[in-house]
């Protein structure tokens, strides 16, 4: 990780769960981290607990709003000049059965945050990397085991479809960067169940105990995976890293 000391990382969804754990680990490893989320105050609270060599800034942004994302990356450019690493971690879970009982707003939110938000942030980060001559950056998408398999996941097949989309967006971006002869790396990290606020969103209405007793990872387990992926030598690209709790049944 030494080559990243003092370099700039943007972590979306840094106000809770996996994103917060990643932001903390990057700061611990000496990076200057910009946490982006709607609950900016939660990121500020985390920053106050960190006494490490790096630094954590909080920038309020709704990643589903292109204007917010453009302004947030403008803040990064104005204050920190560039970005070296983007971790696309912002995400939501919404119950949306395909049989017609789903709420249209849930469908819209899933697409706007999990697909468009990730793409908006990637576009802005790459633009800034190119403008400032960063050709050894790294873009990491938080995918999921549901991005590679069609699990029995009633009410969450839109979520499943979008995460499959993240798999395509990872490989598509890798191929486009290769065509540009860029050395920027792209990685998808695909967790199984992780103990975060999002788990409640995956419970089927009326079956609130459906995930009880299932093995779960902790957010730090995923942050450790990010450190491994970033720590690889410049010629090594981890395209996909799946991290499941031992004993996961689906
Ligand atoms: N937990 C799991 O079991 C699991 C498994 C596989 C993959 N994942 C993936 O891991 C990622 C992180 O999830 P998590 O489990 O850490 O969930 P979490 O604790 O609920 O965190 C989600 C984060 O996304 C942010 N976010 C949500 N909507 C946003 C928006 N419109 N604009 C900006 N930020 C937004 C939230 O911040 P604000 O609310 O402050 O905006 C929060 O920081 C997601 O992509 C998720 O799909 C999670």
pLDDT tens for residues 8-29? 999 999 999 999 999 999 999 9
Residue 170: closest CA among 78, 83, 242, 92: 242
Give the whole-angstrom CA distance, residue 32 versus residue 51. 13
β strands within 106-180, DSSP E: 138-142
Whole-number pLDDT of residue 52: 73
Mean predicted confidence (pLDDT) in 137-144: 98
Ligand 1 pocket member 16 (CB < 6 A): yes
Ligand 1 pocket member 63 (CB < 6 A): yes
Please tell me the total number of residues recorded for the chain in this structure. Answer: 250
Whole-number pLDDT of residue 68: 98
Render pLDDT for 159-192 as a digit per residue (tens, 0 to 9). Answer: 999 999 999 999 999 999 999 999 999 999 999 9
β strands within 3-75, DSSP E: 8-12, 32-37, 55-60
Q: Which residue has a Cα nearest atom 9 of ligand 1?
A: 142
- Judge whether 248 lies within some domain: no
- Judge whether 249 lies within some domain: no
Render pLDDT for 55-113 as a digit per residue (tens, 0 to 9). Answer: 999 999 999 999 999 999 999 999 999 999 999 999 999 999 999 889 999 999 999 99
Give the whole-angstrom CA distance, residue 113 versus residue 91. 6
Mean predicted confidence (pLDDT) in 141-152: 96
Query: What CATH number does the domain containing 237 carry?
Result: 3.40.50.720
Q: Which two tokens stand for residue 182?
A: 């860029």
Mean of the per-residue pLDDT values of the chain: 96
Mean predicted confidence (pLDDT) in 147-163: 95
| Ligand 1 center to 35 CA (angstroms) | 12
Q: Tell me which residue range forms the domain holding 57.
A: 2-243
| Ligand 1 center to 92 CA (angstroms) | 5
Q: How many domains does the chain have?
A: 1
- Judge whether 250 lies within some domain: no
Whole-number pLDDT of residue 163: 98
The total of other beta-carbon atoms located within 10 Å of residue 235's CB is 7
Mean predicted confidence (pLDDT) in 155-159: 95
């Amino acid at each position: 990780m030494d080559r990243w000391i003092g370099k700039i990382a943007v972590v979306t969804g840094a106000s809770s769960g996996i994103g917060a754990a990643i932001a903390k680990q990057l700061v611990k490893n000496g990076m200057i981290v910009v946490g982006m989320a709607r609950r900016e105050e939660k990121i500020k609270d985390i920053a106050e607990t960190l006494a490490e060599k790096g630094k954590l800034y909080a920038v309020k942004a709704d990643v589903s709003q292109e204007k917010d994302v453009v302004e947030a990356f403008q803040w990064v450019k104005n204050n920190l000049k560039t970005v070296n690493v983007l971790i696309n971690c912002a995400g939501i879970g919404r119950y949306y059965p395909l049989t017609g009982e789903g709420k249209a707003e849930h469908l819209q939110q899933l697409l706007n945050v999990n697909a468009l938000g990730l793409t908006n942030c990637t576009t802005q980060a790459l633009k800034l990397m190119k403008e400032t001559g960063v050709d050894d950056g790294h873009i990491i998408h938080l995918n999921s085991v549901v991005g590679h398999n069609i699990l029995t996941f009633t009410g969450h097949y839109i979520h499943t479809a979008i995460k499959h989309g993240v798999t395509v967006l990872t490989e598509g971006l890798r191929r486009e960067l290769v065509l540009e002869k860029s050395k920027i790396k792209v990685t998808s990290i695909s967790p199984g169940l992780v103990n975060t606020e999002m788990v409640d969103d995956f419970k089927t209405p009326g079956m609130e105990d459906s995930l009880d007793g299932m093995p779960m990872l902790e957010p730090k387990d995923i942050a450790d995976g990010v450190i491994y992926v970033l720590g690889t030598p410049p010629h090594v690209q981890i395209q996909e890293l799946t991290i499941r709790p031992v004993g996961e049944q689906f």
